[in-house]
Amino acid sequence: MSANDGGTFDAGARPDFWPDFWPGFSPGDWYAIAADHDVIPGHIYRTTLGGHDLAVWRTRDGTVQIWRDRCPHRGVRLSLGEVAGDELRCQYHAWRFARGGACTYIPAQPAMKVPGTIHAEVWPAAEAGGLIWSGIDPQGAPPALPAGTVVRALPVARPAAVVAEALAETDWPGLALVVQPADAQSAIVRGVATDGDCLAADRLLRALRRRIEQNGPEQNGGERGA
Ligand code: FES
């Protein structure tokens, strides 16, 4: 068996817990990254925040786990794996990781006590207002949105700062919206319909997306934060 192939651990694969900051992504803020109902039991939801791919899942008691979508062994996406009880099992060599990210079992070396240094990169997690929130080092509680029904997430092919500026320019009756910075060039609008009318909300959001994506960066407030 070659080094780090199916069982042995390469120290170079250790996760970097605080990834590089992406310009325009504020490390102290909470960002909505999923709806509560996106992360159903046994399912691994994949999303992106600040250029970092994340795998989101729940333990049996419903606790949300948000991990970097990269196995600390050989870098395979953890979102391709499967949830087994309170653990996530990587699809490639079936290493298992418990809540909190610690590796608990390496099938190729079943008698080995797994070193505590082997663990998935865990991101902060919170649930509030029907949404799941994360961030690099978020302070305080997630933003308190008004009560309502969570609307469909809307990807927009423009930087988060441009999308946020467009949202701030318009009054959105019946909607409370936030922006998920996906990567340097795209964002996802999430939020709630305070009147529960998700169809009307969807129409408004799609109109917003058309307007933002059709306009150039100048019309949308420049490329700040891009
Ligand atoms: S890549 Fe080997 S267990 Fe995940």
pLDDT along the chain (226 residues), means of 10: 32 40 74 97 95 95 96 97 97 97 96 94 95 93 94 94 88 90 91 92 92 68 35
pTM beyond 0.75: the answer is: yes
How much is the pLDDT for 27?
A: 81
How much is the pLDDT for 213?
A: 92
> How far does residue 55's CA lie from ligand 1's centre (Å)?
15
How much is the pLDDT for 225?
A: 33
Q: Domain check: are 166 and 108 in the same one?
A: no
> How far does residue 93's CA lie from ligand 1's centre (Å)?
5
Q: Domain check: are 118 and 169 in the same one?
A: no
Dihedral angle sign, alpha carbons of residues 197, 199, 201, 204 = negative
Which residue, 101, 134, 167, sits at the end of a domain? 134
The closest residue, in CA terms, to atom 1 on ligand 1 is: 74
Cβ of 77 closer than 6 Å to ligand 1, yes or no, is no
Contacts (Cβ under 8 Å, ≥6 apart) of 121:
15, 16, 17, 19, 67, 68, 70, 72, 101
Contact 85, 60 (CB under 8 A): yes
State which ligand 1 atom lies nearest to the alpha carbon of 81.
4
How much is the pLDDT for 94?
A: 98
Q: Domain check: are 155 and 178 in the same one?
A: yes
How much is the pLDDT for 161?
A: 87
Structural domain total, the chain: 2
> How far does residue 45's CA lie from ligand 1's centre (Å)?
18
How much is the pLDDT for 24?
A: 60
How much is the pLDDT for 4?
A: 31
Cβ of 73 closer than 6 Å to ligand 1, yes or no, is yes
Task: Select from 1, 2, 92, 106 the residue to mutate for testing ligand 1; criterion: most ligand atoms less than 8 Å from CB.
Answer: 92
The enclosing H or E element of 177 equals strand 175-183
Full domain range(s) for residue 104: 24-134
Contacts (Cβ under 8 Å, ≥6 apart) of 18:
136, 137
CA distance 189 to 180: 6
> How far does residue 77's CA lie from ligand 1's centre (Å)?
9
Which residue, 88, 109, 134, sits at the end of a domain? 134
**CATH number for the domain that contains residue 34:** 2.102.10.10
Q: Domain check: are 29 and 123 in the same one?
A: yes
CA distance 68 to 148: 30
